[in-house]
Amino acid sequence: MSLKDDALQDIVALAQNNQITLAEIAQALEMSSEQPNAASASVLPKLFGYVGGIFVFAGIGVFISMYWDDFGSASRVIITLGSGLMAFVMGLVCLSDQKYERAVTPLFLMAALLQPTGIMVMLQEYSSGGDVRHGLLFMAAYMLVQQGATFWAKQRTVLAFSAVLFGCIFFANQFDLWDVDEKLIGIVIGSSLLCIAYAMQQSRHMAIAPFWYFVGAVLLLWSIFESVENSLLEPVYLGATAFVIFLSTYVRSRTLLLVGTLAMLIYIGYYTAEHFANTVGWPIALVIIGIALIGLSALAVRLNNRYIK
């Protein structure tokens, strides 16, 4: 299959996932040919807008940190949790007006940062002690319900990202409270994130799929390595890295290909250093590692060009 055929398949998938018609594609092509400089001309206003928002947020954060000790308990909760709730409500309001739609994502991001902070501040100020994990569980449950329900209603990608994030925090704390082994927690959550990322890749929210592919693959491989390290089952980790590379060709993800390749190379270096560092064959092992690096890098390029790109 040629690169052109792959590109056409990607276009078809994007059009189906976002319910784009042929007429809309043709209209967009005509507009792009008539106004080739429109996109570049709009970059500067966006840049100033984002930089201005960063400065505003930084100014508020510096002000709060300067006078934090002077605030009472109620003031601390209002400044953090109250500001987060207001940012969330403003984001919902902006969704109803197309003129302010570009402000939706920054507002939801601010809300996703300020609300958890405010909840933890509230628990610290008004709780009577207890396990910190219960507080984290409460915060994650509240944010998961809020972000998940809003995502279900509004279908915004930023809400999908935050819902997955708080879902991970919730289940990690819940499993920890149940005294589940941390390595098993990592394997379960890592595998779940890979499945979630694949589902996102098939939807209109594919922009955040690479990030969760990366987090899920790293968490899964790290947990597997911790489980089999210094045991007879240690070669299982090498098989896991090979599986991630194979999975990258199936789901067509460069992120998984990168993680799987690097994990395999790092493990080969670790294994040879552990078992051959003090032997006469160490120079030979270095040559073997070099050949393996070259071979794996060439294989990764071929997989990317043939099955992913």
**Residue ranges of domains in the chain:** 72-180, 208-309
Note the pLDDT of residue 1.
47
CA 189 from chain center: how many Å? 13
| pLDDT score at 292 | 75
Q: What's the pTM value of the predicted model, to 2 decimals?
A: 0.77
The pLDDT value given to residue 115? 93
- Distant-in-sequence, close-in-space partners of 10: CB < 8 Å, separation ≥ 6: none
Tokens of 56: 């505003």
**Running along the chain, 309 residues long, what does each successive block of 10 average in pLDDT?**
59 68 69 52 61 74 82 87 90 82 83 91 84 90 94 91 94 92 93 93 88 94 90 87 88 89 85 69 68 72 66
Q: Rounded distance, CA 272 to CA 286, Å?
A: 8
CA-CA distance, 136 to 120, in Å (whole number)? 8
Spacing of C-alpha 107 from chain mean position: 19
pLDDT score for 186: 93
Q: Are 194 and 220 in contact (CB under 8 A)?
A: yes
Question: What per-residue confidence (pLDDT) applies to 17?
Answer: 64
